[in-house]
Amino acid sequence: MNRNYFRHKTKLIFRVAAVMAVVYFCLCISMGFTLRSSSFTEGDCRLYYLVNADGMKGLGHSLLLLVDEGGCGTVLSFNGMQRTLGESLLGKSGVGKLSMGAMTKEEVEVFFQTGDLELEGDQLKDNYDAALYRPITLEEYEAILEQAAPYIAAEEQFSDLYGKWAMEADPGRKEEYRQAMEQLGQDGNLPLYQIYTNNCDSVARTLISAADPAMQEYMCHAWRVTPNGNWKAFGKQAGDWGVMTLGEQTLWERILMFFMIF
Protein backbone atom coordinates (compact mmCIF):
# COMPACT_ATOMS: atom_id res chain seq x y z
CA MET A 1 0.00 0.00 0.00
CA ASN A 2 2.75 2.43 0.94
CA ARG A 3 4.62 1.61 -2.28
CA ASN A 4 1.52 2.35 -4.40
CA TYR A 5 0.89 5.54 -2.46
CA PHE A 6 4.40 6.86 -3.07
CA ARG A 7 4.28 5.79 -6.72
CA HIS A 8 1.03 7.73 -7.17
CA LYS A 9 2.48 10.72 -5.31
CA THR A 10 5.59 10.74 -7.52
CA LYS A 11 3.52 10.60 -10.71
CA LEU A 12 1.38 13.48 -9.46
CA ILE A 13 4.47 15.60 -8.69
CA PHE A 14 5.91 14.92 -12.14
CA ARG A 15 2.62 15.85 -13.81
CA VAL A 16 2.36 19.12 -11.88
CA ALA A 17 6.00 19.93 -12.70
CA ALA A 18 5.39 19.17 -16.39
CA VAL A 19 2.33 21.44 -16.48
CA MET A 20 4.26 24.24 -14.76
CA ALA A 21 7.15 23.83 -17.22
CA VAL A 22 4.78 24.04 -20.20
CA VAL A 23 3.09 27.15 -18.75
CA TYR A 24 6.45 28.81 -18.12
CA PHE A 25 7.63 27.95 -21.65
CA CYS A 26 4.48 29.52 -23.08
CA LEU A 27 5.09 32.65 -20.99
CA CYS A 28 8.63 32.84 -22.37
CA ILE A 29 7.26 32.63 -25.91
CA SER A 30 4.72 35.36 -25.17
CA MET A 31 7.53 37.64 -23.90
CA GLY A 32 9.54 37.28 -27.10
CA PHE A 33 9.66 40.03 -29.71
CA THR A 34 11.47 40.55 -32.97
CA LEU A 35 14.03 43.16 -33.94
CA ARG A 36 12.52 46.46 -34.98
CA SER A 37 13.88 49.86 -35.98
CA SER A 38 13.30 53.34 -34.62
CA SER A 39 13.91 56.16 -37.09
CA PHE A 40 16.22 59.09 -36.46
CA THR A 41 16.55 62.48 -38.09
CA GLU A 42 19.68 64.58 -38.47
CA GLY A 43 20.61 66.22 -35.17
CA ASP A 44 18.71 63.76 -32.95
CA CYS A 45 20.29 62.52 -29.76
CA ARG A 46 19.72 58.84 -28.98
CA LEU A 47 19.03 56.79 -25.87
CA TYR A 48 19.99 53.10 -25.59
CA TYR A 49 18.81 50.81 -22.77
CA LEU A 50 21.33 47.95 -22.88
CA VAL A 51 21.45 44.55 -21.24
CA ASN A 52 24.26 42.06 -20.71
CA ALA A 53 22.27 38.82 -20.55
CA ASP A 54 24.85 36.81 -18.61
CA GLY A 55 25.92 39.63 -16.31
CA MET A 56 25.51 39.17 -12.55
CA LYS A 57 25.63 35.36 -12.80
CA GLY A 58 22.86 35.23 -15.40
CA LEU A 59 20.47 37.73 -13.81
CA GLY A 60 21.69 40.37 -16.25
CA HIS A 61 23.23 43.82 -15.99
CA SER A 62 21.67 46.98 -17.42
CA LEU A 63 23.24 50.27 -18.39
CA LEU A 64 22.46 53.34 -20.49
CA LEU A 65 24.21 54.76 -23.51
CA LEU A 66 23.45 58.36 -24.45
CA VAL A 67 24.54 59.42 -27.94
CA ASP A 68 24.74 63.14 -28.69
CA GLU A 69 24.09 65.00 -31.96
CA GLY A 70 27.63 64.30 -33.14
CA GLY A 71 27.43 60.56 -32.51
CA CYS A 72 29.65 60.52 -29.39
CA GLY A 73 28.51 58.38 -26.48
CA THR A 74 28.22 58.60 -22.69
CA VAL A 75 27.74 55.35 -20.77
CA LEU A 76 26.15 55.21 -17.30
CA SER A 77 26.32 52.05 -15.16
CA PHE A 78 25.23 51.80 -11.51
CA ASN A 79 26.77 49.28 -9.10
CA GLY A 80 27.16 48.71 -5.39
CA MET A 81 30.33 50.24 -3.99
CA GLN A 82 30.14 50.28 -0.18
CA ARG A 83 28.99 46.70 0.50
CA THR A 84 30.43 43.32 -0.39
CA LEU A 85 28.34 40.96 -2.52
CA GLY A 86 27.53 38.91 0.58
CA GLU A 87 26.29 41.98 2.48
CA SER A 88 24.26 43.07 -0.55
CA LEU A 89 22.61 39.65 -0.87
CA LEU A 90 21.62 39.92 2.79
CA GLY A 91 19.75 43.11 1.85
CA LYS A 92 22.17 45.67 3.27
CA SER A 93 22.02 49.03 1.51
CA GLY A 94 25.01 51.23 0.80
CA VAL A 95 26.33 53.99 -1.37
CA GLY A 96 26.57 52.98 -5.02
CA LYS A 97 28.91 53.99 -7.80
CA LEU A 98 27.57 55.47 -11.02
CA SER A 99 30.37 54.65 -13.45
CA MET A 100 30.49 56.97 -16.45
CA GLY A 101 32.51 56.52 -19.61
CA ALA A 102 32.94 58.54 -22.81
CA MET A 103 33.06 57.09 -26.32
CA THR A 104 33.98 58.65 -29.64
CA LYS A 105 31.67 58.32 -32.63
CA GLU A 106 33.92 55.59 -34.04
CA GLU A 107 33.93 53.71 -30.73
CA VAL A 108 30.12 53.86 -30.59
CA GLU A 109 29.87 52.37 -34.09
CA VAL A 110 32.29 49.55 -33.24
CA PHE A 111 30.39 48.84 -30.03
CA PHE A 112 27.14 48.37 -31.93
CA GLN A 113 28.87 45.91 -34.24
CA THR A 114 30.58 43.84 -31.54
CA GLY A 115 28.80 44.49 -28.24
CA ASP A 116 32.23 44.80 -26.60
CA LEU A 117 32.53 47.72 -24.21
CA GLU A 118 36.15 48.66 -23.52
CA LEU A 119 36.01 51.43 -20.90
CA GLU A 120 37.31 51.83 -17.37
CA GLY A 121 34.79 51.34 -14.56
CA ASP A 122 32.43 48.78 -13.03
CA GLN A 123 30.70 46.74 -15.77
CA LEU A 124 32.19 49.04 -18.44
CA LYS A 125 34.56 46.38 -19.77
CA ASP A 126 32.19 43.62 -20.82
CA ASN A 127 30.12 42.25 -23.68
CA TYR A 128 26.55 43.52 -24.11
CA ASP A 129 23.92 41.64 -26.06
CA ALA A 130 20.90 43.76 -26.91
CA ALA A 131 19.49 47.27 -26.75
CA LEU A 132 16.18 49.06 -26.75
CA TYR A 133 16.61 52.50 -28.28
CA ARG A 134 14.79 55.66 -29.30
CA PRO A 135 15.60 59.20 -30.44
CA ILE A 136 15.57 61.93 -27.79
CA THR A 137 15.86 65.69 -27.87
CA LEU A 138 18.80 67.60 -26.45
CA GLU A 139 16.56 68.69 -23.57
CA GLU A 140 15.73 65.05 -22.78
CA TYR A 141 19.42 64.15 -23.04
CA GLU A 142 20.26 66.82 -20.47
CA ALA A 143 17.33 65.78 -18.23
CA ILE A 144 18.73 62.25 -17.99
CA LEU A 145 22.16 63.56 -16.99
CA GLU A 146 20.54 65.86 -14.40
CA GLN A 147 18.71 62.85 -12.97
CA ALA A 148 22.10 61.19 -12.43
CA ALA A 149 23.43 64.07 -10.28
CA PRO A 150 22.23 62.76 -6.84
CA TYR A 151 23.95 59.40 -7.44
CA ILE A 152 27.21 61.13 -8.28
CA ALA A 153 26.92 63.44 -5.25
CA ALA A 154 26.39 60.50 -2.86
CA GLU A 155 29.36 58.68 -4.38
CA GLU A 156 31.56 61.76 -3.93
CA GLN A 157 30.52 62.05 -0.27
CA PHE A 158 31.45 58.44 0.37
CA SER A 159 34.73 58.69 -1.54
CA ASP A 160 35.72 61.75 0.47
CA LEU A 161 35.06 59.98 3.77
CA TYR A 162 36.80 56.82 2.59
CA GLY A 163 39.89 58.81 1.58
CA LYS A 164 40.05 60.45 5.02
CA TRP A 165 39.56 57.08 6.73
CA ALA A 166 42.32 55.46 4.69
CA MET A 167 44.82 58.27 5.43
CA GLU A 168 43.98 58.72 9.11
CA ALA A 169 46.51 57.30 11.58
CA ASP A 170 44.72 58.18 14.81
CA PRO A 171 42.47 55.23 15.87
CA GLY A 172 39.81 57.49 17.34
CA ARG A 173 39.47 59.67 14.27
CA LYS A 174 39.60 56.61 12.04
CA GLU A 175 36.65 55.12 13.89
CA GLU A 176 34.72 58.38 13.50
CA TYR A 177 35.20 58.25 9.74
CA ARG A 178 34.14 54.58 9.68
CA GLN A 179 30.95 55.40 11.58
CA ALA A 180 30.26 58.33 9.25
CA MET A 181 30.54 56.00 6.24
CA GLU A 182 28.21 53.52 7.91
CA GLN A 183 25.64 56.24 8.60
CA LEU A 184 25.91 57.46 5.03
CA GLY A 185 25.12 53.97 3.79
CA GLN A 186 21.88 54.00 5.80
CA ASP A 187 20.74 57.52 4.93
CA GLY A 188 17.25 57.17 3.48
CA ASN A 189 17.50 60.59 1.84
CA LEU A 190 20.22 59.34 -0.51
CA PRO A 191 19.72 57.17 -3.62
CA LEU A 192 21.45 54.15 -2.09
CA TYR A 193 22.28 50.88 -3.82
CA GLN A 194 20.09 48.01 -2.63
CA ILE A 195 20.41 44.86 -4.70
CA TYR A 196 16.69 43.99 -4.49
CA THR A 197 15.05 47.41 -4.74
CA ASN A 198 17.53 49.89 -6.25
CA ASN A 199 20.04 48.03 -8.38
CA CYS A 200 21.67 48.62 -11.78
CA ASP A 201 18.42 48.15 -13.65
CA SER A 202 16.30 50.20 -11.23
CA VAL A 203 18.60 53.18 -11.71
CA ALA A 204 18.78 52.71 -15.49
CA ARG A 205 14.99 52.80 -15.61
CA THR A 206 14.86 55.80 -13.25
CA LEU A 207 17.21 57.75 -15.50
CA ILE A 208 15.21 56.78 -18.60
CA SER A 209 11.98 57.91 -16.92
CA ALA A 210 13.34 61.48 -16.84
CA ALA A 211 12.80 61.55 -20.61
CA ASP A 212 10.30 58.80 -21.43
CA PRO A 213 6.61 58.72 -20.36
CA ALA A 214 6.33 55.02 -21.27
CA MET A 215 9.01 54.18 -18.72
CA GLN A 216 7.30 56.34 -16.12
CA GLU A 217 4.13 54.33 -16.72
CA TYR A 218 6.01 51.02 -16.60
CA MET A 219 7.69 51.85 -13.28
CA CYS A 220 4.36 52.83 -11.72
CA HIS A 221 2.36 49.79 -12.76
CA ALA A 222 4.64 46.93 -13.82
CA TRP A 223 8.12 45.68 -13.08
CA ARG A 224 10.13 42.47 -12.95
CA VAL A 225 12.79 41.27 -10.50
CA THR A 226 15.77 40.90 -12.85
CA PRO A 227 17.37 43.24 -15.41
CA ASN A 228 16.71 40.69 -18.17
CA GLY A 229 13.06 40.44 -17.14
CA ASN A 230 12.54 44.20 -17.01
CA TRP A 231 14.32 44.76 -20.34
CA LYS A 232 12.05 42.26 -22.07
CA ALA A 233 8.84 43.37 -20.36
CA PHE A 234 9.42 47.05 -21.12
CA GLY A 235 10.45 46.28 -24.70
CA LYS A 236 7.23 44.32 -25.17
CA GLN A 237 5.20 47.25 -23.87
CA ALA A 238 7.06 50.17 -25.50
CA GLY A 239 6.39 49.56 -29.18
CA ASP A 240 7.87 52.90 -30.28
CA TRP A 241 11.34 51.85 -29.07
CA GLY A 242 13.61 50.06 -31.51
CA VAL A 243 15.14 46.67 -30.69
CA MET A 244 18.62 45.62 -31.79
CA THR A 245 21.21 42.98 -30.96
CA LEU A 246 24.91 43.71 -30.61
CA GLY A 247 27.57 41.38 -31.98
CA GLU A 248 27.08 37.61 -31.80
CA GLN A 249 25.28 35.96 -28.89
CA THR A 250 26.52 32.70 -27.43
CA LEU A 251 24.12 29.79 -26.92
CA TRP A 252 24.09 30.49 -23.17
CA GLU A 253 23.22 34.16 -23.76
CA ARG A 254 20.39 33.16 -26.12
CA ILE A 255 19.04 30.73 -23.53
CA LEU A 256 19.10 33.42 -20.84
CA MET A 257 17.43 35.97 -23.09
CA PHE A 258 14.63 33.49 -23.79
CA PHE A 259 14.02 31.99 -20.36
CA MET A 260 14.79 34.91 -18.01
CA ILE A 261 11.42 36.68 -17.81
CA PHE A 262 10.78 37.23 -14.09
What are the boundaries of each domain within the chain?
1-30, 45-259
More confident residue, 106 or 58: 106
What does the pLDDT look like over 41-51, one tens digit per residue? 777 899 999 99
- Angstrom distance (rounded) from CA 158 to CA 181: 6
Residues 6+ positions from 203 with CB-CB distance below 8 Å: 78, 96, 98, 151, 191
At residue 179, the pLDDT reads 95
Which contacts of 25-28 are long-range, i.e. CB under 8 A and separated by 24 or more positions?
Answer: 27/261, 28/258, 28/259, 28/261
What does the pLDDT look like over 124-158, one tens digit per residue? 888 999 999 999 999 999 999 999 999 999 999 99
**What confidence category does residue 10 fall into, taking pLDDT thresholds of 50, 70 and 90?**
confident
pLDDT over 80 at 58, yes or no: no
Q: Which of 78, 73, 172, 87 is nearest to 117 (CA)?
A: 73
What's the pTM?
0.87
pLDDT over 90 at 106, yes or no: yes
